[in-house]
A and B are shown apart, each in its own frame.
Chain A
Amino acid sequence: MLAPLRRGGGGVGGAGRSSGAQVAEAEFTPFDPERFARRGMGGHGARLGLTYRAHGPDWVELALPYDPAQIGDPGRGVIASGPILAMMDMATSMAIWTRLGQFRMQATLDLRIDYLRPATPGRTVIGRGECYRVARAIAFIRGQAHDGDPADPLAHVAGTYMFLDGPR
């Protein structure tokens, strides 16, 4: 397994790449969630309007802008739970690759989501996925979503992913 590169400058937004990058580092490009998101997060991610927000050594934060096309409760204008599930699936997947320092084929084994409260209509939902353990065949993740105040989360997720290239 490739070791993740040490990140400089707080580790947000790939800040460590700008100053004094050496040739040896340039030859080996670790997984960069910001660049990955810019290339597009798949058809469904694009349809939902998911964008990159921030990342750290083992976490990735994505944003889901409010879109009336995602409403699940027309009476109140609250978006459906599905788009939040999709964002957390994406954020937690990317958190694994960020922790590993490289992309690796994987499949979601299970994902549990607790809906703590409805998302506030009109607000962007922010989802932070964290990978807290990588085992030989399985990665373990957790995450939270909020719509402005991280201390007032609207959803909580926990789940597992299996690597498709076999145990290492």
Chain B
Amino acid sequence: MSAVPARELAPDGPASRPGAPPHLLVVEGLRRQFGGVRAVDAATFSVAEGSITGLIGPNGAGKSTTVSMVAGSLRPTAGRIVFGGVETTGLPAYRVARLGVVRTFQIAGVFEQLTALENLLIGAPNLRGERLWDALVGKWYWKRSDREAVARARELLVRFGLEEKENDRAGTLSGGQRRLVEIMRALMAHPRMLLLDEPTAGVAPSLVHLLQDMLEELRDEGITMLLVEHALGVVERLCDTVIVMAQGRTLATGTMRELRQRQDVLDAYLIG
């Protein structure tokens, strides 16, 4: 593959190369201000459907803030977010999630008092029985849909090798196991895109490999992923495209090899 000048990989707008897959997520001019500080300033990038796209950059580059804005938990001060053709700027996080964007957290988000199985069940969308009226009506109303969800969840637990932990409280699981639970729960929700915020953080090295295999399998099954990572080895292995952020701005986009050859990217990591 010959080196392509960075200019031609300009990320704004629709796919710039003929035959490239459509962009599931498009972010334009995103800005987020906290008081006098601009954590994110004019971030613009897009994520191709079916890809694993990496988002890297030195500490303080604004990656997590950007992810929070895409997920809807932070409201952008300016800019647009378009997911699957629908503008999601300013939508509350739960609505964005229902559109198919599921986010994981730097510290694995598990429900500590609930069992691993129950953690997964929370991910199941449109379960009968999750509204007050359903609960008051009685068990007969939601028993079957719950059973089906339990069966799906058990399959996932087996697939990810955690079936023995089914009835353990999630608070007792290790960091890596929690991460797996978090991802399995995300899968229960039939996501179109996963926003993974440092998924290998807090995961034992032996488990990191498994995690990478899992993510590749998921990509093959058609799930798009935007991956924030510090471990560049993981990024190199998994990501087709990588976006670099520094000081709140999107600096460059390309493959890891292309980015390594760019002086501005190297400078950003040394300075930032």
Partners in one complex: no
